Amino acid sequence: MRDLFDAYPYQDRYAVHRTLPDRGRASDDVLGELAEMARIEDAAWEEGQCSGTMYAGDHAHYTVLNEAFGLFSHSNALQRDICPSATRFEGEIIAMTLDLMHASVVTDSSPAGMVTGGGTGSILQAILAHREYARATRGIDRPSMVRPATAHPAFVKAAHLFGLELRTVPVDPVTTLVDPQAVADAIDDTTVVIVGSAGNYPYGTIDPIEDLGQVALEHGVGLHVDACLGGFILPFGEELGYPIPPFDFRVPGVSTISADTHKYGYGLKGSSTVLFRDKAVRNASYFLVPDWPGGKYFSPGMEGSRSVGLLAATWTSLVTTGRDGYLAHARRIFETSSLLQDVVRSHPELRLMGDPTFLFAFTSDEFDIYHVADSMKETGWRFNGLQYPNALHMAVTRPQTQPGVVERFRTDLARAVEYAKTQDQPPASAAIYGGVPGGLTPDVSEFIAAMMSDILDAQQTVPPP
């Protein structure tokens, strides 16, 4: 597996461009190079040993989405007069997602939504909307937000970017869930929104959204449900009879929901939705500059130009998969997750965390779980590393539902546990969002910042011999 911090990938295979080539390269040559890179990188997930990342993992599905994208890749969603397709795609994506989140139960306001460029974009837009709405309706100019420790770092980014005081509430170490009373205790007159996850990224567990909804109503604040991860699979798990508690607009007090179409919606990367119980909250974040010499500028979201291609591909994923397809995929994913969890339970040295769903996390009270990650990496497995406590998680996606994956997991995990039990040196792996690279110490904040800076700077120079 490639080093996460390799600033010069493929330098031994292809020419490194630091200036524009004097003459343009032949398109067949360039496309051949890209196809070879794609084949190399697809091998990292095609066998079903990679947590999350590739949610569909279906090349036939990707081919259809790529064709839809290509038809509209050059079109700009800003220019609806010559690209009215963008209005159709975006409106129907929002309508279908609102329906999935039971917006029809809302009778005292008008639910609405937006399509964004990803989960972080949806979270940022929701927090911005809550800030602006509270400023307009409650006169709050120094706002605060309350979130569980397990909530996505995008909420920290939103607080940083939009000037909210961030109050983080710890979660129960056994259930991995936030205590609604602790959230209530952190609210004051400046609070504009509280947060719950369905499910959270570290453990896949679902915060007590119904209780948080009551807290939100009692204190007159918004409740954002981060369903970026679970939004397009939990509803089908509920339909299949799994114990999925309500987390959507059926819960009074839920004001906004984020749900990623590029995860279990099986769309291409770079698409998500943010939904609003009341379009007045959404509209509060609209941005207008009416007196610009270039014309009256209006932006409903933070992005400006957007490719209609992503809207077309996302719409295509939803309508070609359909309810029957999502239900069938969810059935196989939940079943596979249950089987993989049983493998973990078969080892007394390992412990599952919380009450898992399609995503499960496990740790050990007997050895550093990253020794397991080190061993599993040798046989091609890629887990997501967690910390506080150290743990590993597996987000089960369609690639894991292939024949033979559970059996390989059983064999390789047994070997990894035996390996971990014999180690007296620190493991090579560490907890990095998006992967478990080697060679890092637990105190990595300054190291990562410096390394990322070095990568960006190095990309502008000739690689060393």
Short-list 168, 228, 172, 170, CA closest to 194: 168
| Euclidean distance between CA atoms 152 and 259, whole angstroms | 13
Q: What is the mean pLDDT of the segment spanning 435-454?
A: 52
Q: pLDDT category, 463, cuts 50, 70, 90?
A: low
pTM over 0.75: yes
Q: What is the mean pLDDT of the segment spanning 254-266?
A: 98
Q: pLDDT category, 431, cuts 50, 70, 90?
A: low
Q: What is the mean pLDDT of the segment spanning 312-332?
A: 98
End-to-end alpha-carbon separation of the chain, Å?
A: 22
HEC-encoded secondary structure of 254-302: CCEEEECCCCCCCCCCCCEEEEECCHHHHHCCCEEECCCCCCCEEECCC
Short-list 223, 239, 213, 238, CA closest to 191: 223
Q: Is the pLDDT of residue 321 over 60?
A: yes
Cα separation values, 367 from 147, 228, 350, 409, Å: 31, 32, 9, 19
Q: pLDDT category, 290, cuts 50, 70, 90?
A: very high
Q: What is the mean pLDDT of the segment spanning 349-365?
A: 97
Q: pLDDT category, 436, cuts 50, 70, 90?
A: very low
Q: Is the pLDDT of residue 452 over 80?
A: no
What average pLDDT is seen over the chain? Answer: 92
Q: pLDDT category, 80, cuts 50, 70, 90?
A: confident
For residue 201, the 8-state DSSP code is T
Class of domain 72-317: alpha beta
pLDDT for position 394: 97
pLDDT for position 442: 47
Contacts 24+ apart (CB under 8 A), 349-355: 349/417, 349/420, 349/421, 350/417, 353/176, 353/203, 353/205, 353/391, 354/174, 354/175, 354/176, 354/177, 354/203, 354/204, 354/205, 355/175, 355/205
Residue type, 218: E
Cα separation values, 36 from 63, 457, 463, Å: 17, 26, 21
Residue with tokens 């939803």: 318
Q: Is the pLDDT of residue 148 over 70?
A: yes
Q: Where are the domains of the chain?
A: 72-317
